Amino acid sequence: MNSQSNYWAIVQEETTGCGIAACANLAQISYAEAKQLANSLGIYAEDKRLWSETAHIRQLLSALNIAASKKQTAFDSWDKLPEKALIALKWREKSGNAFWHWAVFIRQGNDAIVIDSAQRLKSPIRTDFGRMKPKWFIEVE
């Protein structure tokens, strides 16, 4: 997007908290608020099911009154993504289980960004689309 400072972007406070952080970014609340709500729903960042299933993130989105598509759609190109989506980055398979990193894609007009909550990044606002390889996405409103 043209001005990166116009977007709410928080960084995950736990190594495995990307799903909670993605929901916080969509709801524009703090990580602590999203974590507290997630924990009250029985969702914890360290739960390995959160790393390879979508049910928990859908439950948290619903609790935050954020509508999400009921399906995952295979990623084809950045141009074909909806205005807002959760994207599955760093998708890999290990011992028969799929794992990925959650991030948020936002488009406004011709501009687009990815909000990536990974602690290792210099900025959570990313526009280096050639380096990111989403496997699939979930459209959100």
Q: What is the pTM of this model?
A: 0.90
- Per residue in 90-115, pLDDT (tens digit) is 998 888 888 899 999 999 888 999 99
- Per residue in 1-11, pLDDT (tens digit) is 334 446 679 89
Number of domains present in the structure of the chain: 1
Beta carbons within 8 Å of 137's beta carbon, 6+ residues apart: 72, 73, 75, 81, 82, 85, 86, 87, 88, 105
Distance CA 60, CA 122 (A): 27
Tell me the mean pLDDT in the region 40-52.
84
- Per residue in 61-95, pLDDT (tens digit) is 999 999 999 999 999 999 999 999 999 999 988 88
Structural domain of 64: 4-139
pLDDT of residue 21: 95
